């Protein structure tokens, strides 16, 4: 289970699919919870979810497509859960887009991001050289203090960008929460995992009507 922004919606969806998530609602700071039916929930930061699933410490997990595209874990992606919708985008300071001029003058664009693999792949795919500045905090600071020419980051409403004088220049991909599975677990527990996936798909479909 991914802690943070996806956590409440993940709990709600599992509950609508008939999963007993009562242990996750007790307000405890524990990291592992066991439901009355024996289901074990592991809670962790979103970026670590694929690590636990890929290693087999968890059979299945819920994680954003942004993490999948950045990490490229060796797991099965079973279902788009259709919550946590946002987009990965390239943004610069408001005004005239400086990207082309910077590349023409310097030959390389400096980009601040929490997603270096995604950012590099995007710019190289369009034939542009990029120098990446990996940051873990407020990416928006990069262009404001001269650390970078632009940023690559997740955007939901765009409010944070606007409040910091930034505008989206390029859309990279749309992101939402996904259900992933360990490859071995999916073979050994195929019936259980496929049944849960089907219930989650029904819950997603019902919610979108």
According to the model, what pLDDT value does residue 26 have? 79
Q: Residue 2 carries which DSSP code? A: B
According to the model, what pLDDT value does residue 29 have? 84
Tell me: do 188 and 140 sit in the same domain: no
Tell whether 99 is covered by a domain: yes
Within the chain, which residues score under 50 in pLDDT? none
Prediction pTM value: 0.92
User: How many structural domains is the chain composed of?
Assistant: 2
According to the model, what pLDDT value does residue 28 have? 79
Tell whether 170 is covered by a domain: yes
Tell me: do 58 and 132 sit in the same domain: no
Tell whether 125 is covered by a domain: yes
Tell me: do 79 and 104 sit in the same domain: no
**What is the Cα–Cα distance from 91 to 150, expressed in whole angstroms?**
6
User: Residue 66's domain is classified under what CATH number?
Assistant: 3.40.190.10
Nearest partner of 152 among 127, 133, 129, 128, judged by Cα:
133
Tell whether 1 is covered by a domain: no
Tell whether 2 is covered by a domain: no
Tell me: do 134 and 183 sit in the same domain: no
**What is the Cα–Cα distance from 37 to 199, expressed in whole angstroms?**
17
Tell me: do 127 and 186 sit in the same domain: no
Tokens of 90: 């390239």
Q: Which domain holds residue 103?
A: 86-174
Tell whether 163 is covered by a domain: yes
Tell whether 50 is covered by a domain: yes
According to the model, what pLDDT value does residue 35 have? 93
Tokens of 132: 């990446």
According to the model, what pLDDT value does residue 188 have? 96
**What is the Cα–Cα distance from 16 to 203, expressed in whole angstroms?**
6
**What is the Cα–Cα distance from 7 to 61, expressed in whole angstroms?**
12
According to the model, what pLDDT value does residue 53 have? 98
According to the model, what pLDDT value does residue 109 have? 97
Tell whether 158 is covered by a domain: yes
Tell me: do 90 and 106 sit in the same domain: yes
Tell me: do 40 and 13 sit in the same domain: yes
Tell me: do 135 and 34 sit in the same domain: no
The helix/strand/coil state of 84 is coil
Tell me: do 34 and 90 sit in the same domain: no
- Determine how β-strand 109-113 pairs with β-strand 150-155: parallel
Tell me: do 130 and 70 sit in the same domain: no
Tokens of 184: 């071995």
Nearest partner of 61 among 50, 45, 74, judged by Cα:
50
Tell me: do 103 and 76 sit in the same domain: no
Tell me: do 92 and 167 sit in the same domain: yes
Instruction: Name the E strands within the chain.
Output: 32-34, 40-42, 60-64, 76-80, 86-93, 109-113, 130-134, 150-155, 166-175, 177-181
């Amino acid at each position: 289970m991914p802690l943070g922004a996806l956590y409440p919606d993940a709990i709600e969806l599992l509950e609508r699919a008939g999963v007993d998530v009562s242990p996750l609602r007790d307000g405890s700071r524990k990291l592992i919870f066991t439901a009355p039916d024996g289901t074990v929930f592991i809670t962790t930061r979103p970026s670590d979810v694929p690590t636990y699933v890929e290693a087999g410490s968890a059979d299945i997990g819920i994680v954003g497509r942004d993490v999948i595209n950045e990490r490229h874990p060796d797991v099965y992606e079973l279902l788009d859960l259709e919550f946590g919708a946002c987009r990965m985008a390239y943004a610069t300071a408001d005004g005239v887009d400086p990207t082309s001029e910077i590349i023409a003058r310097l030959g390389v664009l400096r980009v601040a991001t929490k997603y270096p693999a995604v950012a590099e792949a995007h710019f190289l795919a369009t034939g542009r050289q990029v120098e990446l500045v990996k940051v873990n905090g407020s990416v928006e600071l990069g262009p404001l203090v001269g650390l970078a020419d632009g940023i690559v980051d997740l955007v939901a409403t765009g409010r944070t960008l606007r409040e910091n004088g930034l505008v989206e220049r390029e859309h990279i991909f749309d992101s939402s929460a996904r259900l992933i599975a360990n490859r071995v677990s999916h073979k050994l527990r195929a019936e259980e995992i496929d049944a849960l996936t089907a219930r989650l798909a029904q819950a997603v479909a019902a919610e979108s009507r």
